[in-house]
Amino acid sequence: MKEEPHCTGRLALETLLVHGATPFDPVTGAVTTPIYQSSTFRHPGLYESTGYDYSRSINPTRTELERTLALIEGGRSGLAFASGMGAISSIIKLFKPGDHLIVSADLYGGTYRLFHEYYEHYGFSFSWVDSSDLNLVEANLRPETKAIFIETPSNPMMKITDIRRCGELIHNHGGYLIVDNTFLSPYFQNPLKLGADLVVHSGTKYLAGHNDTLSGFIVHDNDIFEEPLRNAQKSEGAALAPLDAWLVLRGIKTLALRMERHQSNALRIARWLQEHPQVEQVFYPGFTEHPQYQLSCSQARGHGGMISFYLKNRDDVAVILRKVSLILFAESLGGVESLLTYPLVQTHGAIPEAMRLSAGVTDRLMRLSVGIEAPEDIIADLDAAFSYSTI
């Protein structure tokens, strides 16, 4: 009798992350999912199929990853894309011209660019609001509002949006709540369980975890989304390739260990930055003095590995970016290596100046993705870089 290699939701999350949806290959017993590096699949005969035909539509490696993401995010179905932007673009296909979406003003600049420079031209409208202020969210609801799209924690100012309350607002209005869960990953936060309808990830970040592949995901818990999202994935051709799917599957196995280390390192380094004379202000959701700390604790199991901070002196920016050596001056986040980013010209360069400044993205803002290195080495590198600065 063939064994049924399927994990269930009764297992602890740490266990599900290690074993995934299918903990071993039922044919060979392989304990890692094979890379089905094939564009097409043979059919046994006319009107007969193995269930696979063409990898743009469906591929066994990608299917295993999608099932695993659905399992760990607490959803019914997952879809894997070539990037997080591909996933977000497919979500917009659920709506039609004339529809209005409320969007977090403090979010990744690529999302702003996609919505403003492309989908506004097709008749969609967007209101950019501080979604951590529910009064502002409610004030921007219109008869044609069909969704609220939030990042929480926000990028890069680490504001926390109340997922439950936003869900109630938009559901009472007949729309959907979409949550970008990239910063916390399914290990620390599960928005579907809090009332979200769709969860999106840049899998490039914490899910893959090693800065070696691009990927994006949508997870949902409602059959109404399945057919249109699958059709968008297949028709636009943004599906994740088999090798990249395998890399993300491999990364997910250590997600629990990595997220715990990212978080413990981040808290220690955020406190060190807080005491540094050249730093004006540090933004980290794990601070008990963070204005939304209690809200964060009520909807997430952790606070993640992302820190933003203001320098006192604008001239220190170029010096520090040039002088860090262990920490890498690079765009992106969520990998095992610590990365330092300058949002003004990198992640948020596409956002208009007035909107950037209103959100807090000034010319003194730095964003640090804290890796899993020894924390004392990260601090020593920052300390050495600061020593070259102008103060």
Average pLDDT on 72-81 reads 98
Residue 132 counted as domain residue: yes
Does position 176 have pLDDT exceeding 90, yes or no? yes
Which of these three, 199, 227, 252, is where a domain ends? 252
Cβ neighbours, 10 Å, residue 250: 16
Predicted pLDDT of residue 351: 86
Catalytic residue among 130, 180, 244, 381: 180
Q: Classify the C-alpha dihedral 75-79-85-91 as positive or negative.
A: negative
Report the amino acid identity of residue 253: K
Which of these three, 252, 269, 302, is where a domain ends? 252
Q: How confident is the model at residue 2 (pLDDT cuts 50, 70, 90)?
A: very low
The residue ranking higher by pLDDT, 51 or 6, is 51
Q: How confident is the model at residue 8 (pLDDT cuts 50, 70, 90)?
A: low
Residue 232 counted as domain residue: yes
Q: Within 13 Å, how many C-alpha atoms sit on residue 292's CB side?
A: 22
Q: How far apart are CA 195 and CA 167, in angstroms?
A: 5
Co-location of 173 and 314 in the same domain: no
Q: What percent of the chain has pLDDT over 90?
A: 91
Average pLDDT, the chain: 95
The DSSP line for 211-222 is SS---EEEEES-
Report the amino acid identity of residue 234: K
At 78-93, the pLDDT tens digits run: 999 999 999 999 999 9
Q: Which of 1-10, 38-47, 122-131, 248-257 has the lowest mean pLDDT?
A: 1-10
Q: How far apart are CA 175 and CA 132, in angstroms?
A: 19
Co-location of 217 and 232 in the same domain: yes
Q: How confident is the model at residue 28 (pLDDT cuts 50, 70, 90)?
A: very high
108 catalytic? Reply is: yes
Count of all residues that appear for the chain in the document = 391
Cβ neighbours, 10 Å, residue 110: 18
At 217-275, the pLDDT tens digits run: 999 999 999 999 999 999 999 999 999 999 999 999 999 999 999 999 999 999 999 99
Cβ neighbours, 10 Å, residue 104: 28
Residue corresponding to tokens 């799917």: 245
258 catalytic? Reply is: no
Q: What are the tokens at 211?
A: 């800065």
Residue 6 counted as domain residue: no
Co-location of 192 and 283 in the same domain: no
Q: Classify the C-alpha dihedral 271-340-202-36 as positive or negative.
A: negative
Co-location of 104 and 227 in the same domain: yes
Q: Rounded to whole angstroms, what are the CA distances from 189 to 58, 271, 297, 298?
A: 28, 23, 10, 10
Average pLDDT on 24-44 reads 94
Residue 5 counted as domain residue: no
Q: How confident is the model at residue 348 (pLDDT cuts 50, 70, 90)?
A: confident
Alpha helices in 184-310 (DSSP H): 185-188, 223-236, 242-252, 255-274, 293-299
**Number of structural domains, the chain?**
2
Q: What is the CATH number of the domain that holds 228?
A: 3.40.640.10
Residue 2 counted as domain residue: no
Q: What are the tokens at 270?
A: 């955020």
314 catalytic? Reply is: no
Residue 8 counted as domain residue: no
Phi, psi of 147 (to 5 degrees): -160, 155
3-state secondary structure labels for all residues of 133-162: CHHHHHHCCCCCEEEEEEECCCCCCCCCCC
Residue 127 counted as domain residue: yes
Average pLDDT on 346-351 reads 84
Strands 339-341 and 328-329: parallel
At 284-338, the pLDDT tens digits run: 999 999 999 999 999 999 999 999 999 999 999 999 999 999 999 999 999 999 9
Q: What is the CATH number of the domain that holds 344?
A: 3.90.1150.10
Residue 98 counted as domain residue: yes
Does position 163 have pLDDT exceeding 70, yes or no? yes
Contacts of 210 by beta carbon, 8 Å cutoff, 6+ apart: 247, 251, 335, 336
Domain span including residue 61: 13-252
Average pLDDT on 2-7 reads 50
Co-location of 247 and 279 in the same domain: no
180 catalytic? Reply is: yes
Q: How confident is the model at residue 1 (pLDDT cuts 50, 70, 90)?
A: very low
At 358-388, the pLDDT tens digits run: 889 999 999 999 999 999 999 999 999 999 8
Co-location of 244 and 266 in the same domain: no
Contacts of 223 by beta carbon, 8 Å cutoff, 6+ apart: 76
Catalytic residue among 62, 146, 159, 205: 205
Co-location of 245 and 260 in the same domain: no
